[in-house]
Amino acid sequence: MDIKNLYKKYSLNTYNRLGPVFVKGKGSYLFDDKGNRYLDMFPGWGVSILGHCHPRIVAVLKKQASTLIHLPNNLFQQEQALLAREIVKNSFPSKVFFSNSGAEAVEGAVKLSRLYGRGNRHEVIAMRNSFHGRTFAALSVTGQEKYKKPFTPILPGCKEAAFNDFSDFVKKVSKKTVAVIIELVQGEGGVNIATTEYIKQLYGYCRQNDILFIVDEVQTGMGRTGKLFCYQNYGISPGIMILSKGLGAGVPIGAFVVAERISNYIKPGLHASTFGGSPLVTAVSLEVFKTIKEEKLLKNVLACGRYLALKLKGLKNITDIISEVRSFGLMTALEINGDSSRIFEACLNYRLIVNATHGNVLRILPALNVTEREIDQAVIILEKVFLEHNKKTRRKTETKT
């Protein structure tokens, strides 16, 4: 069967797809329909934090699927309550709402900020180069014109401030400002890391001026930066935390976690989701928390994060096209002098999966249980790709001169 042709014929054309047809995954590897093995250093676009088909996730999925899959949210079930408790126990005094995706969780957080503003304040300040999703509120607080422009007018009251620039934020605040939304490490925007000094200033200002501090941990959450949640690296306690991706390690789940002091702004009937927090996905997510703890994955994130960064800095010395290596735990990026999608494609040809984002950034988000051996394999391929790139550019300059 020609799968690619079926996509062409029947799927709405919203994604640029490349490479083979994948049929199987195991740990940090994917297998195509011809039996070829690919090293996946970007598993599930940041979702598959335990690698592909982790045996504990497979086991819990099988067990829960034969016990109870779905239940409407007007009935009680065990797994959702246990997961809410697990999230709160591991973060800050709060209450949890479950959605199915990151954007939906952002949507809920923005709605809650409207309730918090009580009709007097509604403006939300987002950061330039941020990414919060494709639904309308999430898109409106995404600080990238290319995503918003085709869909204008966006939600009113969404403003943008420069990332890591406290004085620009203060300039954007008005009497109507009710919330700020921030990724502490911008993912899609190119792995840009917020400085501690900036976050301390921003957080202090928001507390003083009763501005809700919303952290989007869709990509940074669930251990990616070496702490279970990235805000814990900064010594702050958010008003709202948004989770998704790794929370389910492959099953669709999102959540917004609301500080206890503001949780009573929402009442039954004001927000809901038919599928949100089903027994199936919450049982899996509970297993994700257990696995991170029992397999001591935060330790591995820090050790392998340092190892990967070191290796990538070594690569920077062999090629002119890497201008910067950025890393926080296992959230890693190479800034490229030029188009990073070319490098992504070359890696794919050598059966290595990474990600090209923001035009000139190569993003690497391995599973939390990645090994040094797998990192070595990835770096060998990257080295080959960069050396070939060096040769090509040298040839081009020689023919010009």
Residues of this chain that interact with ligand PLP (CB under 6 A) are 101-103, 106, 131-133, 183, 187-188, 216, 218-219, 244
Query: Is the CB of 330 or the CB of 346 nearer to ligand PLP?
Result: 330
Name every residue whose Cβ is closer than 8 Å to that of residue 156 and which is 6 or more positions away in sequence: 122
Taking the complex as a whole, how short is the minimal distance between the CB of residue 130 and ligand PLP, in angstroms? 8
Taking the complex as a whole, how short is the minimal distance between the CB of residue 74 and ligand PLP, in angstroms? 25
Residue identified by tokens 């809920």 is: 108
> What is residue 275's DSSP assignment?
S
Query: Is the CB of 133 or the CB of 250 nearer to ligand PLP?
Result: 133
Q: Which residue is nearest to ligand PLP (CB)?
A: 102
In this structure, what token pair is assigned to residue 350?
A: 């050598």
Query: Is the CB of 100 or the CB of 319 nearer to ligand PLP?
Result: 100
Taking the complex as a whole, how short is the minimal distance between the CB of residue 100 and ligand PLP, in angstroms? 8
Query: Is the CB of 45 or the CB of 261 nearer to ligand PLP?
Result: 45
* Residues paired with residue 30 on neighbouring β-strands, in sequence order: 25, 38
Omega prior to 153 cis, within 30 of 0: yes
Taking the complex as a whole, how short is the minimal distance between the CB of residue 396 and ligand PLP, in angstroms? 35
Taking the complex as a whole, how short is the minimal distance between the CB of residue 247 and ligand PLP, in angstroms? 10
Contacts of 259-262 with CB under 8 Å at 24 or more apart are 259/92, 259/93, 259/94, 260/93, 260/94, 260/95, 262/112, 262/116, 262/212
In this structure, what token pair is assigned to residue 185?
A: 């490490």
Query: Is the CB of 215 or the CB of 283 nearer to ligand PLP?
Result: 215
What is the rounded CA–CA span in Å between residue 261 and residue 122?
A: 19
Helices (H), 264-371: 279-294, 297-316, 340-349
Taking the complex as a whole, how short is the minimal distance between the CB of residue 89 and ligand PLP, in angstroms? 23
Query: Is the CB of 328 or the CB of 386 nearer to ligand PLP?
Result: 328
What is the rounded CA–CA span in Å between residue 97 and residue 106?
A: 11
Taking the complex as a whole, how short is the minimal distance between the CB of residue 338 and ligand PLP, in angstroms? 24
The number of C-alpha atoms within 13 Å of 120 and in the hemisphere containing its C-beta is 6
Query: Is the CB of 361 or the CB of 381 nearer to ligand PLP?
Result: 361
R_g of the chain computed on alpha carbons: 22
Would you say 83 and 285 are in contact if contact means Cβ atoms under 8 Å apart? yes
Taking the complex as a whole, how short is the minimal distance between the CB of residue 182 and ligand PLP, in angstroms? 10
Query: Is the CB of 242 or the CB of 292 nearer to ligand PLP?
Result: 242
Taking the complex as a whole, how short is the minimal distance between the CB of residue 242 and ligand PLP, in angstroms? 7
What is the rounded CA–CA span in Å between residue 128 and residue 401?
A: 40
Residue identified by tokens 């591991």 is: 90
Query: Is the CB of 135 or the CB of 341 nearer to ligand PLP?
Result: 135
Would you say 41 and 378 are in contact if contact means Cβ atoms under 8 Å apart? yes
Query: Is the CB of 51 or the CB of 248 nearer to ligand PLP?
Result: 248
Taking the complex as a whole, how short is the minimal distance between the CB of residue 261 and ligand PLP, in angstroms? 24
Would you say 225 and 331 are in contact if contact means Cβ atoms under 8 Å apart? yes
Instruction: With H, G, I as helix, E, B as strand and everything else as coil, classify residue 334.
Output: strand
Query: Is the CB of 185 or the CB of 375 nearer to ligand PLP?
Result: 185
In this structure, what token pair is assigned to residue 369?
A: 């249980």
> What is residue 27's DSSP assignment?
B
Nearest to 117 by CA among 40, 184, 210, 27: 210
What is the rounded CA–CA span in Å between residue 177 and residue 277?
A: 31
Taking the complex as a whole, how short is the minimal distance between the CB of residue 134 and ligand PLP, in angstroms? 6
Q: Is 302 left (phi over 0), alpha (psi -120 to 50) or beta?
A: alpha
